[in-house]
């Protein structure tokens, strides 16, 4: 089961209702259609019981995919079991991880002891865009940040090059570990994010009110349905802005079979901007291409970066001159 099942979820309730109305005569029809793994296959001579079982399987898979974000619990369980068992049988790697943990703990203890030197060192070490604000160098926020980054580094080492683990299982475990850690990042919590707290103090909490106002103004409708940003009609602080006003580097993802945003239309951002732009074209549709969790066959992507001032490169040149890379683009 893959993320393609997400697109089947609206059909699940219809399929279940059809089961109630289905008769034995319909089951013996010459030509029947069964959906599996996102593809419709014509089958001849299915009995009513076989058809019912097939459609029930599809309904169950679609409902489960909606709950798990397209990740198969069976695949995750097998990957976790493979990794954990081989980790238990790798005392050398476990010793290396223990040494890394002890070293990180010692560095943290020394940092707490020498606060002023720590703040200077912490400011220089900051290369993660989530913690680029100067406020992260203040106590105790630098401790939250450094502890998180050390934990992230430890898990990266723990889920890399484990002896005996199948490659796609290791990639899946590493992917899940990174996603769970990112969800627990101190930058995602109001209490542990000094930039958010500073903004709340400066505005008297109005930054939260403003955020809700942006939501109620249906900015997604203006950006996506009306395409106001591309047309120079989207306003910030009462002034219209356009894509050409953006100076920050942009990372853009397009999928080959996207029915929401066709990748050839997304690629036109090259004509509307002048800043550095990285364009990634991945296999799959709107759900499978964006989620693109590791461990699935047939996944590949192309990735190119247009630097500031570089000449335009057509989408035909992208396909002809950029070789596809096998695997999930999350691991690049």
Q: Which of 34, 69, 104 is the last residue of a domain?
A: 69
Q: Do 329 and 263 lie in a common domain?
A: yes
Within-domain flag for 322: yes
Tell me the pLDDT tens digit for each residue of 72-90: 888 899 999 999 999 999 9
Within-domain flag for 144: yes
Q: Which of 17-26, 100-109, 159-168, 286-295 has the lowest mean pLDDT?
A: 17-26
Query: Has residue 286 got a pLDDT over 90?
Result: no
Q: Do 10 and 58 lie in a common domain?
A: yes
pLDDT (0 to 100) of residue 39? 46
pLDDT band at 47 (very low <50, low <70, confident <90, very high): low
To the nearest whole percent, how much of the chain has pLDDT over 90?
A: 26
- Picking from 112, 109, 121, 105, the residue whose alpha carbon sits closest to that of residue 139 is 112
pLDDT (0 to 100) of residue 152? 94
pLDDT band at 247 (very low <50, low <70, confident <90, very high): confident
Within-domain flag for 229: no
* Residues forming beta bridges with residue 255, ordered by sequence position: 282
- Please enumerate in sequence order all residues whose Cβ is within 8 A of that of 180, keeping only pairs 6 or more positions apart, or say none: none
Q: Do 35 and 94 lie in a common domain?
A: no
Whole-number average pLDDT of the chain? 78
Within-domain flag for 265: yes
* Interval 115-135 mean pLDDT: 67
- Picking from 58, 60, 52, the residue whose alpha carbon sits closest to that of residue 24 is 52
Q: How many domains does the chain have?
A: 3
- Picking from 3, 38, 1, the residue whose alpha carbon sits closest to that of residue 330 is 3
Tell me the pLDDT tens digit for each residue of 151-181: 999 999 999 999 999 999 999 999 899 999 9
Q: Which of 54, 69, 84 is the last residue of a domain?
A: 69
Q: Do 47 and 91 lie in a common domain?
A: no
pLDDT (0 to 100) of residue 232? 81
Distance CA 154, CA 108 (A): 14
Q: Do 50 and 90 lie in a common domain?
A: no
Query: Has residue 7 got a pLDDT over 90?
Result: no
Within-domain flag for 228: no
SS3 161: coil
pTM here is 0.55
* Residues forming beta bridges with residue 250, ordered by sequence position: 277
Q: Do 91 and 65 lie in a common domain?
A: no
Q: Do 181 and 112 lie in a common domain?
A: yes
Distance CA 86, CA 73 (A): 20
* Interval 21-31 mean pLDDT: 39
pLDDT (0 to 100) of residue 277? 92
* Interval 225-241 mean pLDDT: 80
Distance CA 266, CA 268 (A): 5
- Token pair belonging to 123: 């400011």
For the ranges 70-84, 118-132, 246-260, the maximum mean pLDDT occurs at: 70-84
Q: Which of 49, 69, 89 is the last residue of a domain?
A: 69
Tell me how far apart the 2 most distant CA atoms of the chain are, in Å. Answer: 82
Query: Has residue 215 got a pLDDT over 90?
Result: no
Helix (H) / strand (E) containing 278: strand 277-282
Q: Do 262 and 305 lie in a common domain?
A: yes
Within-domain flag for 273: yes
- Token pair belonging to 100: 């890394």
Q: Do 104 and 125 lie in a common domain?
A: yes
Query: Has residue 284 got a pLDDT over 70?
Result: yes
Residue labelled with tokens 């990174």:
178
Within-domain flag for 210: no
Q: What is the DSSP letter of 295?
A: S
Q: Do 64 and 89 lie in a common domain?
A: no
Q: Do 17 and 106 lie in a common domain?
A: no
Q: Which structural domain range is residue 30 located in?
A: 3-69
List own/partner pairs for 175-184 with CB under 8 A and 24 or more apart: 175/293, 175/294, 175/328, 175/330, 175/331, 176/76, 178/152, 181/148, 181/151, 181/152, 181/155, 184/148
Within-domain flag for 146: yes
Q: Could you report how far apart the first and last alpha carbons of the chain are, in Å?
A: 23
Q: Which of 3-7, 77-81, 162-166, 327-331 has the lowest mean pLDDT?
A: 3-7
List C-alpha distances in Å: 264 to 49, 137, 254, 259, 272. 45, 43, 8, 11, 14
- Please enumerate in sequence order all residues whose Cβ is within 8 A of that of 8, keeping only pairs 6 or more positions apart, or say none: 35, 38, 58, 61, 62, 65
Q: Do 171 and 107 lie in a common domain?
A: yes
């Amino acid at each position: 089961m893959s993320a393609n099942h997400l697109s089947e979820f609206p059909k699940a309730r219809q399929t279940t209702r059809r089961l109630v109305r289905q008769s034995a005569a319909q089951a013996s029809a010459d030509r029947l259609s069964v959906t599996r793994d996102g593809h419709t296959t014509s089958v001849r001579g299915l009995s009513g019981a076989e058809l019912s079982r097939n459609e029930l399987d599809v309904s169950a898979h679609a409902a489960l995919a909606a709950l798990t974000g397209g990740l198969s619990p069976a695949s995750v369980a097998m990957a976790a079991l493979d990794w954990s068992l081989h980790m238990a049988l790798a005392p050398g790697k476990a010793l290396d991880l223990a040494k890394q943990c002890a070293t990180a703990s010692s560095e943290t203890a020394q940092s707490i002891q020498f606060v002023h030197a720590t703040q200077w060192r912490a400011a220089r070490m900051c290369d993660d865009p989530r913690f680029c604000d100067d406020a992260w160098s203040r106590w105790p926020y630098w401790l939250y940040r450094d502890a998180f980054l050390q934990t992230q580094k430890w898990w990266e080492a723990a889920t890399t090059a484990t002896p005996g683990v199948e490659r796609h299982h290791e990639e899946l475990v590493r992917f899940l570990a990174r996603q769970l850690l990112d969800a627990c990042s101190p930058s995602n919590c109001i209490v542990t994010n000094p930039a958010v707290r500073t903004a709340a103090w400066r505005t008297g909490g109005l930054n939260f009110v403003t955020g809700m106002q942006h939501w109620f103004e249906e900015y997604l409708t203006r950006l996506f349905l009306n395409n106001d940003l591309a047309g120079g009609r989207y306003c910030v602080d009462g002034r219209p802005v356009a894509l050409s006003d953006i100076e920050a580097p942009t990372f853009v993802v397009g999928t080959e079979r996207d029915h929401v945003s066709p990748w050839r239309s997304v690629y036109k951002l090259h004509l509307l901007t002048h800043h550095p732009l990285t364009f990634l074209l991945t296999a799959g549709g709107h759900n499978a291409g964006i989620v693109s969790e590791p461990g699935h066959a047939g996944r590949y992507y192309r990735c190119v970066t247009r630097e500031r001032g570089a000449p335009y490169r057509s989408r035909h040149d992208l396909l002809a001159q950029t070789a596809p890379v096998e695997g999930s683009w999350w691991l690049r």
